Structure 1
Amino acid sequence: MKISVVTTLYYSQSFIDEFYARILKSVLAITADYEIVFVNDGSPDDSLRKVLALQSQDPYITIVDLSRNFGHHKAMMAGLHYAEGDYIFLIDSDLEEAPELLNVFCKELISSSDIDVVFGIQEKRKGGFFERMSGRVFYYIFSILASIEYQQNSLTARLMTKRYVENIKKFNEKELDIWGVFVLTGFNQRGIHVTKGSKGSSTYTLRKKIKHAVDSITSLSSRPLYLIFVFGFFIICLSFLEVAYIVYRKLHLEIDIEGWASIIASIWLVGGIIIFILGVIGIYLSKIFSEIKNRPLTVIKEIYKKQQ
């Protein structure tokens, strides 16, 4: 049984040594047949140099060096393409997720013949009040707009069978939400509640989180387009009722209709609705534009792999 560990690097230099020591100990407790795939996602610090130093001591380390920063999701997908093990353990290298989860997940996966994925779920979402509340709001909105079951507070850390990962690699979309792909791939999956640590500062700024939320919803669901249709139909019905009421007051009650303020307000309302609708449609058109160009998901500058 061979285990592949896949992790990404971005401002990770301060975590690499401890991560490697702990993940190696966890892997060797299960099997001596392993590989560790580090994906350098254009990290501007000394992460690449540090893993190259580790590779000089451990020939079972593979380093995928991307030409620039492509983002966490695309870097993880690149790493999965180079994983050759019978079981693939995906985890972040920042130690917020304990490397020892491999042993817990492996015991759970092997004991259940009908399970292909074991993944971690945060018992309690980390961060301050704003981070926790924004997370709840995201999952609530996503559950309304998305057409898939998106597991709330799921972690990167997950142990997967080879056949599951092979099917993940068949997804070729450029606007990638890898958590959505995990769900769309199917198979029997089991979540385990675990404790997630905190490294303090995060490279996920508020702007990145909002962008991720918009990208996730529009990449995985066409429901917003249908909601626009329903919303537009509702506005049309209200408009007809308003016109009918105005005609009734004028013809039957003989009341003159005046008020430039109401006209201006109506214009602003309709204009805002039109702009909003065009904005949503524009997001979908931008994704179509990105897909039809068929650009590569990532660009690999070099592969560092020793003969084993």
Structure 2
Amino acid sequence: MSAAHVPVLLAEVVDALQPRAGETIVDGTFGAGGYSRALLAAGSSIIAFDRDPGAAQFAQGLPADRFRLLERRFSELDAVTGPGAVDGVVLDIGVSSMQLDQAERGFSFMRDGPLDMRMAADGPTAADLVNAAEPAEIARILYVYGEERESRRIARAIARRREEQPFTRTLELAEFIEKTLGGRRGAKVHPATRSFQAIRIAVNEELAELEAGLVAAESALKVGGRLCVVTFHSLEDRIVKTFLAVRAGKTPGGSRHAPPVETTAAPSFQLSFNGARTASAAELAANPRARSAKLRAAVRADAPVWRAAA
């Protein structure tokens, strides 16, 4: 495994998961296999999930008696493992560096490729979304998933342009959005950054997948089992933070994104530590992509799964 494929916060994740020989851990987002390799080295057995068919190439050489990779969504992990069956679950949310670096996948606005953005090999593409969705829906996606303040302006411009010529390429869309917003004018962040993030999240249903995956992990973990989730932007982190706070009995006050939650169910998790852990200075120096990464972790308590109780 090359240095470029070392996952972010690896040491922190291993510390929180505390893998041991004989344990079974779910790597819900296999990617290039960085977490799985570290956990296998500790003696644990791994059930890995990745809906990207390209992930299989990174599983070559892993021990067949302690490792298996399933081309499925991690939200289905409890259906595979059964309830209360695993000692740990790790989720690394969002697009991987390999996917971003592959122009043919269409994730990056910095590389020309087909406007695809699908993590799996099926379903509607990003081109399908921008060329067919109603302008109001495109605006909603850009605003909610990308926190793009100019969402309506971009959506209206896309709707006008696609009538003359549908969008098919990543750079085509990126340059169009940049032009619509009046260029960079010295901005450090590309004007299409938020829009591409939003479209990718919508195409892959990433936030709904995360919410379902957290519930699946709650079901699959044994009492004392550990859950670790690494996120890369505020929408993902807010979902994880709220889920763990509520499940640990620390009901948040709510916000416009997450209204207050009231429940009498017994806490199903205990927080492993307060707040989130972030990358060290050494890791940031070696991998600038780790700058926005946050790790939150919790331990499964001796209480029923909330959805079952509900």
**TM-score category by the smaller chain?**
under 0.3
Pick the structure with greater CA Rg. 1
Which structure has the higher relative contact order (CA within 8 Å, separation 6+)?
A: 1
